[in-house]
A = this chain, B = another copy of it.
Amino acid sequence: MNAKVLRVGVIGGGQLARMMTVPAINLGIELSVLAEQPGSSAALATTMVGDYTQIEVAREFANTVDVITFDHEHVPLAVLEALEADGVSVQPPSKALAFAQNKLHMRQRLGALGLPMPAWAEIQSAVALDAFIAENGGEAILKTPIGGYDGKGVRVVRSSADASDWLENIGNFGGSLLAEEKVDFVRELAQLSARRLSGESKPWPLVQTIQENGVCSVVLAPAPEVSAETLQRTADIASAVAEAIGVTGVLAVEMFEARDGRILINELAMRPHNSGHFSIEGSVTSQFEQHLRAVLDLPLGSTAPRATHSVMVNLLGVDDSNNFVQAFDKALAAHPEAKIHTYGKGARAGRKMGHVTVVADDAAHALAQAKGAAAVLLQG
C-alpha cells in the first residue's frame, strides 16, 4: 500500500513561502515552491524556477502538487482561472484573489456588503480627483488599484497636480485610480483569521500594527486596551469579509480605529501576513501552519496564545551589507528570550529582511526585549 502524502505548491519564493516551509517540515507535508529566480528566500523548498505569469509554467508546477497557494497576490487571474479550469485546487480561489489584487474591486465589493470603509471614489480624471479632495478636507490617499504594497503605489495628494504623472498615464493602471479619505486614526488594527475550504474559520486575537513610512514596524498581540465593543466589531467585520469573499487560507483585514470611534477597513491580504508573524511563537498554531491546514482542507488548530503578550518587530534593511547575522552574537547574548528570524535575503536599505518576536506575560517586557534585540541587530 502507498502511504499518504500531502503536497502543497506555493507560487512565489519570498519570506512567506520560506516560513511555510517550517510547519511543512514539522507536520510532514511536502511543500514545493515555484520561485521567480534561484537563491530566493524559499530556495530550500524551491522545486522549480520560472515565470508564474506564463500559464504553461504554472501548469507544469501545478502537476506536481495537490493544491496551489501563494506567497504573494501577483499571479494573473487568467493563469489562476486556467489552472482551475484544469481541475487544480487553487486556494484561495481566483474569485477571492481578484479582490486582493485590485483595490478598486475590493472597495466595490466591500461597499456592496455594507462594510465600513473610508470614503472612496474611482478616479478617472483630474477633475474627479480634485472634487474628491475638496469633499474630504483638502487631502486624500491616492492608490494604484493593482500591484502596490508596503507603501508603494500609494501617495498623499492635496491636488490633482500631485498625481499628474499617474493621471497622464492612467492607461497603465487600467484606466482608474482609487482615491480614499485620509482617515484621522488613533491606531491601526489587524484581524487575522483562517478559513478552510469546507467552511471552518478561526481568528487569532486582534493585533495592533504600528507603521513607519508605510511599512509595518511593530505588532502588538493582542492589541492593548481595546473596548469590548471594538473587539466585537472588528471580529464581525473580519468574519463577514472572509465569508462573503470566499477566502480560503489566512486572511488579514487591516483596519483603522478612527479618532471618531469608527472602525474602517483599510486593506485585505489573502495569505499569511506580516501582522501574523508573532503567531510563530505566540500562538499554539502559527499562521503558516494554519494556512497549510486550511488550503489542504484539514481541521484548523487552536489559535490560543502561548503567553499573554507577543511583540513582533520587523528588521528592515539598513544598507547593502548588514544582513543582521553579523550581530547575532551581541543580540543573542543580550536578549536570550528573543526569537530572531532572518529571511536569507540580500541586504538592501528598507527591505523586509527579518523580524524579532518576544512572547511574555508582561507586555512592557516583551516590547523592550523585542525592540532591544532589533536595535542591536540594526547596528550590525
Contact = CB atoms under 8 A, between A and B. Distances in A.
A379 interface: no
Interface residues of A, number: 51
Contact of A341 (B18, B26, B321, B329): B26
Interface string A304-338: 10110000000000001111111011001100110
A125 interface: no
Contacts of A299: 329, 332-333, 336
A143 interface: no
A258 interface: no
Given A26-B22, A28-B341, A346 B301 contact: no
Contact of A4 (B302, B323, B346): B323
| Most chain B beta-carbon contacts within 10 A, residue among A285, A322, A325, A326 | A325
A349 interface: no
Given A44-B45, A332-B293, A323 B26 contact: no
Contacts of A333: 299
Contact of A1 (B26, B301, B320): B320
Given A26-B280, A285-B336, A301-B337, 20 more contacts: A3-B326, A3-B346, A4-B323, A22-B22, A22-B25, A27-B328, A27-B340, A28-B343, A28-B344, A28-B354, A284-B336, A284-B337, A284-B339, A293-B332, A299-B336, A300-B336, A301-B332, A302-B336, A306-B307, A306-B359
Interface of A: 1-6, 18-19, 21-22, 25-28, 44-45, 280, 284-285, 293, 298-302, 304, 306-307, 320-326, 328-329, 332-333, 336-337, 339-344, 346-347, 354, 359
